[in-house]
Amino acid sequence: MTYQEDERRLRELPVSEAMRLLAGVPYGRIVFTRHALPAVRPVNHVVLDGGIVIRSSPGMVVGDQATEAVVAYEADELDSDERLGWSVIVTGVATTVADPGEAARLKDLVRPWVTGEMDQVIRIQPEIVTGFVLVPAQAVCGPA
């Protein structure tokens, strides 16, 4: 067996490790439906109490306060030179945080990187969490 330096493999992550990695990066991409079509937006987030919290323009990701939306959230940390890194995808239900006190507290934790009206605080409750890490292959069968 010989090791091929340029070979990589994907290793699936346990949910707890995937959520820990997600909590360690400041931004990701939310996938939602807009005008009956898929839409993707980069947003910053915090992971809090097992959920993901983001801020958005009112009505962008979810409608009014009574609306729920199924969304996906993806974040990664990849090194294109080394071809190593990880990716986490969360699928879940996004809801607007309706309680004014809770929304104000969360607004202080999630400061948008862009200017403009980002007054809607959204919590994503994970239903499906998948995570993968790209690692060097341990050994590859081949000529010695």
Q: Is residue 2 a part of any domain in this protein?
A: no
DSSP 2: B
Q: Is residue 103 a part of any domain in this protein?
A: yes
The 10s digit of each residue's pLDDT in 36-70 is 899 999 999 999 999 999 998 887 788 766 678 99
Q: Is residue 95 a part of any domain in this protein?
A: yes
The 10s digit of each residue's pLDDT in 119-128 is 889 999 999 9
Report the pLDDT value the prediction gives residue 68, as an integer from 0 to 100.
Answer: 87
Q: Is residue 90 a part of any domain in this protein?
A: yes
Residue 124's closest CA among 87, 89, 95? 95
Q: Is residue 49 a part of any domain in this protein?
A: yes
pLDDT > 60? residue 16: yes
Domain count, the chain: 1
Looking at the chain, the whole-number percentage of residues with pLDDT higher than 90 is 60
Q: Report which residue type is found at 134.
A: L
Report the pLDDT value the prediction gives residue 141, as an integer from 0 to 100.
Answer: 44
Q: Is residue 100 a part of any domain in this protein?
A: yes
What does the pLDDT average to over 74-87? 92
pTM over 0.75: yes
Range of the domain at 108: 8-136
Q: Is residue 1 a part of any domain in this protein?
A: no
Q: Is residue 3 a part of any domain in this protein?
A: no
- How would residue 2 be classed by pLDDT, with cut points 50, 70 and 90? very low
Report the pLDDT value the prediction gives residue 50, as an integer from 0 to 100.
Answer: 94
DSSP 23-66: HTSSEEEEEEEETTEEEEEEEE-EEETTEEEEEE-TTSSS-STT
What does the pLDDT average to over 65-86? 89
CATH code of the domain containing 73? 2.30.110.10
